[in-house]
Amino acid sequence: MKEFDEWLNEQSEGTREHYVKRINSFLSSMGQTIEEFSKLTNKEMKHLVLEYRAKSEKEGMPQNTILSRICSVRSFCTYIEKPMLFKANQLGKVQADTDSHIFSNGDLRGLFEIGNTFEKALISVSVSLGWEISSVLNLERDKVRAKIEHAKQNNEQYIFFEDTRTKTGESRFAVLNPLAIEWLTKYFEVSDEEIKKRKENRNDKKFTEGKTEKDLKIYDEGTENMERCLFPISEDGVNKMLKRLASASGLKLTGSIRFHNIRKWLMSRLSRCGFNEFQIKYVMGKAIGVSDRTYLQTLQTDIEEKYPKVYNEYLNIYPKGQIITDTESKKVIESLQMQIEGLKKTIEGLEAQLNTKMTEVLNMFSTQNAQIQAIQAQIKPKTEKKDGFILS
């Protein structure tokens, strides 16, 4: 349908994916196509939505899932100039999330430590920005790289920049902290080599031989995606990655793993380290209720001054420094091996001393035993045998 496609094209890639999935679920449940639904009157649409809510609630569907699907449907209806208005709480209230695992600093550190270079970069950037998953995955590789190169040129440890949250249109003040910058730099090195190798493979007849045009097209699209996107991975792929890392790190979960709770973690940490309500909202891209640019610039200055002061204590998930490199690992191993050799020599020396002492004790015991036998022989009564009897 033309109008539906036009509406979707106005959304970000991540939001578009969610809208399609939610609206299709709604339509499937109510036995409608998008064309049929679009032809309904405003009143008929509203009736169908209320019917869907009652049906889904009866089937035991979570309240927040019902509301998210209805919200997607209402957004499309507004686009086609058939907005639906409901009385307060007519659709029910959003329920508190009590089924998700709440991340601690230690949790995020555990996930970060066992991740590979790509995963470390993704986790550190997500923790630093606190953005929703769709925005993180919409980051452009070249733009982020340019910001990092500019920061290094000016010896800046932190990168601050203003952005617009696609979902709400609100301004937000983004921060890339030292950990994110460090692992993005390492990730660029690794991924540059991977992209280079993919292009070399594409020009290698041995690689392309036997592959269909469709196979090669998919391969080329993958390479283009790597060159364009900072993190070429789907939202589902990110959540699966977090679950795998949580399992591998031995994390004791209190609920399901959700990427969105990294955003909640940052809001909590900013509050704990003294950021006020407006500073937190500005970082997170929430509505502040002012359009005065002067006030926003004041907030920017305050955040730029405060963030570095509280970073290590509150916002750094790896506060003890850098991950040990291969070279550093070798030095640590060599040092431990030297200590082990030293302990072996100490043990050998103690064993030699123990053997000597045991020999001395055995010799002393043998000497004393011989003396005891000699004394017993001297005091033993003399006896003689006569006619079969022993006389003493």
pLDDT at site 309: 95
**What distance in Å separates the CA atoms of residue 296 and residue 188, rounded to the nearest whole number?**
32
Right CATH number for 105-315 from 1.10.287, 1.10.3470, 1.10.443, 2.60.40? 1.10.443
> Mean pLDDT across the stretch 368-391?
66
Mean pLDDT (the chain) is 87
Q: For residue 322, what pLDDT band results from cuts at 50, 70 and 90? A: very low
Q: Which residues pair with 390 in a beta bridge?
A: 385
- Residue 342 in this model has a pLDDT that exceeds 80: no
Joined tokens for residue 340: 């082990």
Statement: residue 337 has pLDDT above 90: no
Residues for the chain: how many in total?
392
- CB 38 within 8 Å of CB 80: yes
Does 319 or 160 have the greater pLDDT score?
Answer: 160
Q: How far apart are CA 138 and CA 136, in angstroms?
A: 5
E-only strand ranges, the chain:
159-164, 171-176, 384-386, 389-391
Q: Tokens 């709480």 appear where?
A: 89
Amino acid at 1: M
In the chain, where are the structural domains located? 2-79, 105-315, 324-358
Q: What is the pLDDT of residue 290?
A: 64
| CA distances from residue 350 to 92, 336, 359, 361, 363 in whole angstroms, order as listed | 77, 21, 14, 16, 20
Read off the pLDDT of residues 116-171 as tens digits, 9 standing for 90 and up.
999 999 999 999 999 999 999 999 999 999 999 999 999 999 999 999 988 778 88
With b for 16 or more beta-carbon neighbours within 10 A and e for fewer, the 185-210 pattern comes to eebbeebeeeeeebeeeeeeeeeeee
